[in-house]
Structure 1
C-alpha cells in the first residue's frame, strides 16, 4: 500500500499535464502567455549523462558550437538547438563534461561553427547587444565560477561570429584555465552581451569539474552512484521548436523582451522528465540550475528521505547538512546525497519542485503542474551476486577557510532597481542605477577584502553572480523600502532598532542555500544582503595570473532576461 500511495501522490497531477498542441509557426508568442507545450507522457526515458573529456592532459581540446537537432522526448519532434561538441556529430546539449585536475592548467579552444545569418530565437534589437554588422550568431563562452585571466573569462563583449567578426573585447579563441581552486563543480555557458538568454535557452551550456583526489573526502558515492545534472525549463511548439516570446511585455519600449522566461517542460541532461533506476543505497547528485529565470525549491516525495548536502558553488561545505528542501537559484550548484536504503525496492520517489514564479512571492498558478516534478527515481533490487557498496557521509568534508574583516574593510553599497512603463510593466532592471555601457565604478584592489551590501528595492529575488572570486554570504536584513524611498526619513547607516534606521529586524544568518563558498547568491526583495569578498584565490593567495590585465570582469543578475537588459556591470581590478 505504501508504494502505491507515493506513486499516486506525485502522479495524480500529471493528468493535467496532457495539453493541447502549440501555436503554428506564423503565430505570435506573447511574453509570459506562451501556448502550452504539446501532450507528452513523463518518465519514458532514462536519465543519461553527457560524455566526459579529460582536459588535464596538457593537450589543447577544441570545442565548437554547432546548430543541431536533438530530441528531448520520444513523442516530440526533434528540436533545433545550438550545442557544444568536439564536432557536429558529437555536439549535444548539455555539452561534454570537462574534467580538470587542481593545479594542472587546461587549454580549451572555443570555436563558433553556427552559420545562421540570424538567431533562430527572436532578438530584441532595442537592447544593448552584440549587433554584428555582417550578420551571424555571436557567442563567447564563460567558465562560471572559474578563477581565470579576464581574457579567458568569456567577457560579454569578447564575442565572435563564424564569419570572423569580433566584439570590442575579443582577444583570443584559446583559453587557459589555471584550475587553482579547490575541487568543485563549475559550468560553462554562453555570455554574449544582450543575447545570453537566447544562447543559453538554445542549448549552449555544459559542466566543468575540478577534481583533486588528495582533497576529496573518502568513500563518497562515486562511479555509477554519482550523477552530474543540468536542469533547464523550456516551452515547445508542436513541431518541436522552442517557444520563445516574439511580443514583449512592453512592446512600445522593447518589442519582444520579456522580464522572465519560464518553460513548462523540465529538461534534465537533455531529456524531458527522465527516470533513474537506483539501488537501495546512497547516491550523490551534483546539480546546476541552468534555467533562464526559474528558481527550483526541491523536495522528495517520500517522507523518509532527506537531502544530505555536502557542497555548493565553491565546493565542499565544512560539514554535511541535512534538509528536507533545497533551493537552487539560476546558476547555483548543489552537491547532495540521497540515501535510498531507507525505502524498499519497488518504491517510486519523485524529485519535486515548489518554486514560485516569480520567486519568492509569485502566484502558484503561474507554475504549471508539469514544472512541479523534475525526476522520477525507481528503487530497484540489485542483481544477484552484486554487493552494494557501503558509502559514507563523513562528519568533516573540508578545511574551514574564513574571510576576516575589520573596521577598515572597504564597504560598497549596491542597489537593485527596476524601471517600468506608464502601465507599470517592467522595462528593465539596473545595478546602482547604471547600465552596462556606463563607465566602470567597481574597481577593487588586488588582494584586498571588501564588504558588499546589496539593497534590493525591487519586488523580485535576484541571483547575483560575481566573476573571478568566491565569496561568503554574511547576513540578510529586512528594511522598510517605503521609508527608504522617501529619502532622509531613514537610513541603513544606523543599526536596528535605532529609530533613524530603515532596518526592521536584526541581521539574519544566511539561508541554507547560501552556506559555504558562493559565486552566485540570491538577494531577496526588501532586504539588504551582505557579501564578504576577498580579491585573491580561495586560499587567500595572489592569483597566478595578472587579474588586472585585459578587458576585466563583470558582476550581474543571473536571471538572464535581466542580465541581457542592462542588469550587469563591469568590474576592473587594480593594483593598490
Structure 2
C-alpha cells in the first residue's frame, strides 16, 4: 500500500486509505466482473483492489492511517449496501439518530432491508499495545461524507466522539467528517496481521463485500531466525511483493487469503437476503419479528460454493522447484479450513501463527488431526506462516491445495468433508523447472526466536452459548457470558450488558472458555497476544473432567484467535498492558453480528460512558 508523503525524518509511516466501490474480475472470463468494496490509497486510484494491498510495517516504528469512508457515487451521494442489511439486529442503526444508534429497534411489523448510507470502522486484527481509540471499536463507526444523508440519521457511532477527542489529544491530527485517524505502535513481535471492517451488527456483510488486507510487521528481535547448521542468520524464502517492483520479479514469499463466496449469474456477490436460506424459516412459518424472535434476514452461518484466493476463484500459481513462504489467512465468514496438498512429495512446515514465529518448525506432513494426515486446521481469522518445498516435484506437475473442512458448521472430528469438485479445492500450483539455486535455509534447520512462556494469572471463567428460538427448531442468536465453575452454569450476556471482564493494567489472566454449544468457535481477544494453555473435556454437569490436553503443536506460539471446541473448556493466558475499552468475540462473523461479542475494559472503565 502506498504511503502518504511525510516530512523527511518523520516519526511514523503515514497512510490515507479509503473504502470505495468498484468492479473486479473475480470469476474467470467471460463471466462478468463483480462489484465489490475494498481499501486503497486515496492518491493512487489503481491501488483499489480486492483483497486490499498489504501494509508493510516496521517493528517499533508507528503507522498512522486516516481511514476514509468513501462509499459514495460520482455525485457525492451515498451508495447503499451491496447486500441485505437486517435492521432487527443489535446493529449500528444510523436511522435511530443520536438516541437510538447502536441499539436494537422495536418493530410493529417485519421490516425490509436497510438501504441507507453504510457505516464502517476498521480494526487491525492482531495488533497488540494499540490504544482503544485506534482499535476500531464496533460503536465508533462513521458514515461517508455524503451530500444526501437524512439529517435525522446519526452520522457516527456512540463512541466515535469519545475516541476522536482522545486520539486528537494523543496524536494532534484532526478527524474530518467521514473518517478516523488511527495509530499503531507496532511494538510487538513480528507478525502476520490483517485489517478489516468491524461495524456493530454489520461485520459479516461489510467484510463479505471485500474490505480486508494483510498488515505485516517485520523486524525486531523476534524476527531473527538462525540456521542451526552454522549458527548464522538463516535465509527465509523471498522476496515478498513490494510497491514499485519491476515486472518479471519472481516472488517466493506470498500472502494468501482464502475465502468462500457465492455469485449470481450476473457476476454480483450472492449472500442470503432471507433467513429461509438457512433453515427454511419463512415469514409464514414460523414468522419473523415481531411475532417471533427470528430476524428476517440474518443467517446463523453462511458457506459459499466457490473458493476465492487473493480475489480470484480457484486460481493457479506457477512455482519454481524451490521453497516458498506462504502466509495463509482464513478470511471466510463461517468456514473452517482443513488444508492439505494432494501430492505427498510436497514438504510443508509451519513456522508461525498469528503473532509471529512458533518455538520451532512443525512438519505438517507428520501431523495427524482427527484421523486426517498432513493437514493444516484453520478457523476463520487464524493465520499460518508456512514454508512449502516444491524442490522434489517434477517440472510440469500440477499440485492441488485441497480443503477437507466441512460445508457446514465445524464441530470437531470426525467430520463430513467439503464437496470435492468445488469447495474441496482451493488453488493449483504449476511446477516449472528451477530458474536458479535456492539460497533459503531448509525449514528443519531453522532455529526460531525463543518464546518465553507467560506464568501465573487468575482464572476468568467464560461461556459460549447458542440460544434456540422459542418458536422454531433453529438458532435465535449466539452469545457470550460468564461461567460459574461451582454450579456449572452460565450467565448469558448480550452486547449491551454491563462490562464483566475488567482485568487490571499489567495483570496476567487465564481466560477459561467453556463451550456449551454444539459447534467450534474461533475466539478472538482484541489488544493482546495470548498463549494456549490446554483444553479439557466437560462432563454432563458442564464441569471439567479427565485430564487436560496440551495445545496442538501449531498452537505453541503467541496467538490472537483460538479454536474453542464444543464440550470443552479452552484455557488461554494473556497479559493486559494497555488501559482502555476493547472487545472479545467469536470470529464466525455471523455470530459476532448477533450478540456473540462483548466489550471488556483493561483498567478503569471510562468515566463517561456514552450510553
TM superposition score category, shorter chain reference: 0.7 to 0.9
State whether residues 301 and 588 of structure 2, in contact with CA within 8 Å, keep that contact through their aligned partners in structure 1: yes
Counterpart among 453, 469, 476 of residue 427 in structure 1: 476
- Indicate the residue corresponding to 2:411 in structure 1: 360
**Does 2:556 align with 1:515?**
yes
Q: Which of 412, 416, 425 matches 2:464?
A: 416
Q: Quick one: structure 1 residues 566 and 479, their matched pair in 2 at CA, closer, same or farther if it must change by over 3 Å?
A: same
Deviation at 1:118, TM superposition (A): 2.7
- Report the Cα distance in structure 2 between the residues aligned to 1:568 and 1:151, rounded to whole angstroms: 18
Whether 1:372 and 2:424 are equivalent positions in the alignment is yes
SS in 2 for 1:187: strand
Aligned to 1:345: 395
- The alignment partner of 2:594 has SS state of coil
Structure 2 residue matching 1:235: 3-state secondary structure? strand
1:113 has 2:172 as partner: no
8 Å Cα contact 1:445/1:535 also seen in 2: yes
Q: Which residue of 2 aligns with 1:168?
A: 158
Equivalent position to 2:88, from 112, 126, 140: 126
Change (3 A) 1:390 1:211: closer
What is the deviation of 1:517?
A: 0.7
Could you tell me whether the CA contact under 8 Å between 1:308 and 1:338 is conserved in 2? yes
Match of 1:210 in 2: 217
Task: Identify the match of residue 238 of structure 2 among 222, 235, 247.
Answer: 222
Q: Match of 1:526?
A: 567
1:269 CA displacement: 0.8
* Corresponding position of 2:265: 238
2:355 is the alignment partner of 1:314: yes
Q: Does 1:469 align with 2:517?
A: no
Q: Give the CA deviation at 1:430.
A: 0.6
Aligned pairs (5 A) from 1:416-565: 416-421=464-469, 422-432=471-481, 433-480=492-539, 482-484=540-542, 491-492=543-544, 503=545, 505-536=546-577, 547-549=578-580, 552-565=581-594
**2:99 counterpart of 1:145:** no
- Measured after TM superposition, the shift of residue 59 of structure 1 is 4.2
SS of equivalent to 1:121: coil
Q: Which position in structure 1 is the counterpart of 2:203? A: 196
TM-score normalised according to structure 1 size: 0.82
More off after superposition, 447-456 vs 389-398:
389-398
Q: What SS is found at the alignment partner of 1:137?
A: coil
Measure, in 2, the Cα distance between the counterparts of 1:316 and 1:72.
32
Pair 1:425–1:212, CA change in 2 (3 A): same
Distance 1:153 1:128 in 2: 20
CA RMSD of aligned residues (A): 2.0
Quote how far apart the aligned CAs of 1:130 are.
0.5
1:372 deviation in Å? 0.8
Gaps of at least 5 residues in structure 1 are 1-50, 485-490, 493-502, 537-546
CA shift for structure 1 position 83: 0.7
Aligned partner of residue 459 in structure 1, secondary structure: coil
**CA distance in 2 between partners of 1:506 and 1:564 (Å):** 35
Q: Name which of structure 1's ranges 314-323 and 395-404 shifts more when overlaid on structure 2.
A: 395-404
* Preserved CA contact (<8 Å) 2:380 2:522: yes
From 379, 383, 386, give the equivalent of 1:333.
383
CA 1:570–1:483 in structure 2 vs 1: closer, same or farther (change >3 Å)? same
Instruction: For residue 241 of structure 1, report the CA deviation from its aligned partner.
Output: 1.0
Q: Which deviates the most, 122-131 or 391-400?
A: 391-400
**Residue of structure 2 equivalent to 1:42:** none
1:90 positional shift? 2.5
Following TM superposition, by how much is the alpha carbon of 1:379 offset from its aligned partner in structure 2, in angstroms? 1.0
Report deviation, 1:389.
3.1
Q: How far did 1:395 drift?
A: 3.4
Q: May I ask how many residue pairs the two structures share in their alignment?
A: 491
1:63 to 1, 11, 17: 17
Decide whether aligned partners of structure 1 residues 415 and 59 sit closer, same or farther in structure 2, where only a CA change above 3 A counts: closer
1:387 is displaced (CA, Å) by 3.4
Q: 8 Å contact 2:512–2:570 — kept in the other structure?
A: yes
SS in 2 for 1:341: coil
Deviations, residues 18-39 of structure 1 (Å, cap 9, x unaligned): xxxxxxxxxxxxxxxxxxxxxx
> Aligned ranges for residues 217-296 of structure 1 at < 5 Å?
217=225, 218-223=234-239, 224-248=251-275, 249=279, 250=281, 252=288, 253-296=294-337
C-alpha spacing 1:52/1:320, structure 2 compared with 1 (3 Å): farther
Aligned partners of 1:209, 1:365: CA distance in 2, in Å?
32
- How many angstroms apart in 2 are the aligned matches of 1:341 and 1:89? 36
Encode CA deviations 1:128-175: one digit per residue, 9 max, x unaligned.
011112831000000000021100000000100103711011124111
Give the 3 Å change call, closer, same or farther, for CA 281–466 of structure 1 in structure 2: same
SS in 1 for 2:428: strand
Q: Which residue of 2 aligns with 1:136?
A: 117
1:60 alignment partner, SS class: strand
Distance 2:2 2:567 in 1: 43
State whether residues 186 and 208 of structure 1, in contact with CA within 8 Å, keep that contact through their aligned partners in structure 2: yes
Q: Tell me: CA distance 1:395–1:120, structure 2 relative to 1, closer, same or farther (3 Å).
A: closer
Looking at structure 2, the residues matched to 244 and 463 of structure 1 have their Cα atoms a distance apart, in angstroms, of 22
Of 512-521 and 253-262, more deviation after overlay is shown by 512-521
Greater relative CO (CA pairs within 8 A, separation 6+): 1
SS of residue in 2 equivalent to 1:151? helix
Match of 1:401 in 2: 452
Structure 1 pair 111/390, CA: closer, same or farther in 2 (3 Å)?
closer
Please tell me whether the aligned partners of residues 86 and 295 of structure 2 are also in contact (alpha carbons under 8 angstroms). yes
The residue aligned with 1:24 is none
Shift of 1:478: 1.2
Query: Which residue of structure 2 aligns with residue 15 of structure 1?
Result: none
The equivalent of 2:170 in structure 1 is: none
Show CA shifts across 1:312-337 (max 9, x none): 00100111110121111100000011
1:381 correspondence with 2:433: yes
Aligned to 1:36: none
Q: CA deviation at 1:574?
A: 0.8
Q: Secondary structure at the match of 1:376?
A: strand
- Farther-moved stretch of structure 1 (159-168 vs 147-156): 159-168
**Structure 2 alignment gaps of length 5 or more:** 73-77, 98-115, 147-154, 165-174, 226-233, 240-250, 283-287, 289-293, 365-373, 482-491, 606-611
